Amino acid sequence: MGYENNHYREQLFDVKEQNLNEKLTTCHKVKNMADMPGWREVIAPRLEQMIKGLSGGKVGNTWTAGSMHVASSQDEVSFLAGGASALIDFYNEVANHISSIERLEDSLKALVDEREGRDTTPMTDGEYA
């Protein structure tokens, strides 16, 4: 019975570790992409410009109404709002991946420490000491 429980726990540790490693790999790839000059100099500014163009915002010292606010029909407003929402979600998803790296690394370290500590910490109190 004890072997089965330990084997099951080891499998859980393996799955958790694999999931964390996969998430970290994805986050690092996103960060590497965002650090490239093409992203910083072309794509990110263009995304910001597109979002402002749809939903409005401050451009320089001037506030502008976006296309959503001057659309002629409700269907057009809904279409533009969906586009703005998708662009905002994408932009935020990139930022969330980058900001998650430290937390995921800490979680992975804690998982490895827990696994190693569980295997090497001797019992020092109780009836089995």
DSSP assignment string, 20-63: HHHHHHHHHHHHHHHHSHHIIIIIHHHHHHHHHHHH-EEETTEE
Contacting residues for 26 by C-beta, under 8 A, at least 6 apart: 97
* pTM as predicted: 0.73
What 3-state DSSP class applies to 104? helix
Is residue 9 within 8 Å of 119, Cβ to Cβ?
Answer: no
Is residue 102 within 8 Å of 58, Cβ to Cβ?
Answer: no
Q: What is the dihedral of CA 69, 71, 74, 78, to 10 degrees?
A: -70
DSSP tag of 64: E
DSSP tag of 128: T
Walk along the chain (129 residues) and give the pLDDT tens digit of each residue: 556 777 888 899 999 999 999 999 999 999 999 999 999 999 999 999 999 888 888 777 888 888 888 888 888 888 888 989 999 999 999 999 999 999 999 999 999 998 887 655 555 555 655
